[in-house]
Structure formats: structure tokens, C-alpha cells
Chains A and B, each alone.
Chain A
Amino acid sequence: MSLTDEQLERYSRQILLKEVGGKGQKKISEAKVFLIGAGGLGSPAILYLASAGVGTLGIVDDDVVDLSNLQRQILHSTETLNQPKIASAQLMVSKMNPDVKVNTYTERLNAENILDVIKDYDIILDGSDNFPTRFLVNDAAFFLKKTLISGSIFRFEGQLTTLKPHDDAPLPCYRCLYPEPPPSGLVPSCQEAGVLGVLAGTIGVMQAAEALKEILGIGETLAGRLLIYDALEMSFRNVRVPKNPTCALCGPKPSITELLDYEISCSLPSPPDDSLDA
């Protein structure tokens, strides 16, 4: 597949980069990226991946656009209120870049369907809003040997890492970093705890940057590192994330050999002021 004159012009500013060039642009246009969620993180990631010319975007979200989403979910607009988020996402991407093919999925991901849904994609971006999905996506990505770029946000703080435990180098999965989700008793509610809208932008855009680097095979990704961003301090910190030699999923003696569905719990007798969930 060669680039048309219009594509050469559209992508000229990144083709100019020697790390990209025409060859890299072709890699981008042949890439298939799957996004878990078209919300706070998914919105900016989808917009930048689409504008960069990623050939195929798969998007799963079972929600509709709510007025309270628009403070940070910049894929959606007042015009698309009450519409399914995937329809709103598809509309915005088609306006921005008709080169991009968008596949949409409205089913809630579970142990039954996730492998089938994500199997044809190269890279998975997790922008989900709950722990059960995050652990499910991690396990599925591990079983299918897919690179997973995990972003999460809470109030003024964000976390980002790239997970490729299938790599030859010993690199961690999400369970090497956090072995298990919080028990449901410690997760106060599914209502959002509040988040600064631009925080979603910062982390979501960095997820897109990691995806483009993975597609192009350039630079140093966050594989083996966790980036912590504090918007109040305006600080970025890295900590090391080694592969856990006793990881229940990707270790040499795994106890998790098939997908598990964790229950999404929304109730607690007396929620504490702060939660570890968002």
C-alpha cells in the first residue's frame, strides 16, 4: 500500500521526522489499535491516534454520552448527548480523518467475549474506569501476547505504564505491579470521585504517544516503568516495575490459567471518605 498525495500532505509533519518517514507512516496506517473505553482517557487517545492516521481503531464502550462527561471526554459534544459513546466517537473520527476505519463494540467485556473481540488488534489501550475490567484486560492481553498500554486517573493524579510480558526481555504484566484488585468491601462506589478534566487529557495523550512508539518501534517506552503524574505538583516521577518471578499470571508457575470475571461491586455499608477506586 502506498501513500496518496493527500496522505503525504496530511501526515507531512510527522513524515518529516526521520524516525517516522514514509515507511513509518505506512506502519501507522497498517496498525490496529483497540481502545477500552471512549471516556476521559479514550477520548484524547482516539483523537490523536486517528489524526496520526492509525489505520484501524477498535473501540468498546457500552455507555451513552452524559452531560457530566463533557468536562473531560472531548470526543463527545453537546450535539451527541444521550447517543451511544461509540456512535459519537465514530462520528468525530470520520470528521477528523476519513482514512481511519473504526470498529465499534457495545457489549460489556467479560471473560467470555474479550479474547474474540481483541484478537485481531496489535496494541490495546486501557482507559477503563474499574478494576475488574483492568484485570480482565491484562489477563486477556497476556494470553494473546498483545502489548497493553495502561492509563488510569484519580482526582489530580495519573498513572501510566506499558505492559508486554510476552517480550523476550523479562518485562512485567499489570499483576506484577498490582497482584490483585481491591476487595469489593474497599471499593466504595461506582460513582466517580471527581477528576480534573485536563488530567484525562494528559494521560490519554501519553497513552497515544506510547502506542505510536510501539507501532514505529522507536524510542524507549514505559515497559518496566510506571509513570506517576501529579497535576497539583506538576511533577512526573518514574518507579521501576520489575517482572514478578512469582506472578500468578505471567510467572513460571502460574495459578491463573484462564480468564476470571471479578464482580463489579457498587455498594458498601459505610463508605470511607476516600477510595482507592475512581
Chain B
Amino acid sequence: MSTVRIPTPLRGLTDGQGKVIAEGESIAALIDHLDMSYPGMKERLCDDAGALRRFVNIYLNEEDIRFYKGLDTPVKPSDEVSIIPAIAGG
């Protein structure tokens, strides 16, 4: 079980929760699990081909998973995963 930080724009899917728990040995598995608990999450994070959308980043602790193994990046239970989308308000 890993902690996943949910950004403000996606909290509508998590009843307003900023931190949720999800299970999975990779980021991809974790997203699938998140999508079961919070339907619609995967669509917001991944495109039709299953790739991470290009204006959404996922961090394993402080590191961007694109610079590890992308969605195949392994996740340990002690890891914190953060979803950080681009925001444009000013």
C-alpha cells in the first residue's frame, strides 16, 4: 500500500481527499487500482494508448517517473507517489 497525493484538479474524483492509499507494484498497477477505487482517474492520467498524458507528471517520492522507467517504475509500500498536473491559473 502506497500513499498517493492527489492534486486539487483531481480531488473531485476522491471526494476531496488530498491523500489516498493505493496498491500496486508498479506505477501502472497503482493507477489501475486507483481507477477501481476512483473511477475516471485513469482517463485523466493516461491517453487512449495508455501512455501518461504529456501535461501530467507522476513523481515517485521527489523524482519524475519519466526519468525512471515511466509507468513500469516499481513502487515500494514505503514510497509516496504524487500526481502533479500542469495548472495555468494566474
Contacts and interface: CB of A to CB of B under 8 A. Distances in A.
Contacts of A200: 90
Contacts of A278: 87-90
A151 B11 CA distance: 21
Contact of B88 (A129, A156, A180, A230): A129
Interface string B78-90: 0000101111111
Contact of B86 (A128, A192, A240, A276): A276
Nearest to B13: A274
A182 B57 CA distance: 12
Interface stretch (B21-29, B30-38, B60-68, B69-77): B60-68
A240 B75 CA distance: 18
Contact of A274 (B10, B53, B54, B59): B10
B86 A182 contact: yes
A129 B55 contact: no
Contacts of A240: 62-64
Contacts of A41: 90
A232 interface: yes
Interface residues of A, number: 49
Nearest to B11: A274
B64 A276 contact: no
Contact of B89 (A154, A238, A241, A273): A154
A131 interface: yes
Nearest to B19: A233
Given A155-B8, A239-B82, A195 B18 contact: no
B87 A153 contact: yes
Interface of B: 7-13, 18, 44, 53-57, 59, 62-64, 66-67, 82, 84-90
Given A179-B55, A228-B84, A239-B64, 19 more contacts: A37-B90, A39-B90, A40-B89, A126-B90, A131-B86, A151-B90, A152-B89, A153-B89, A154-B8, A154-B89, A157-B8, A177-B86, A178-B57, A228-B82, A238-B62, A274-B11, A274-B12, A276-B44, A276-B86
Interface of A: 36-37, 39-42, 126-131, 134, 151-157, 159, 177-182, 192-193, 195, 200, 226, 228, 230, 232-233, 237-242, 244, 273-278
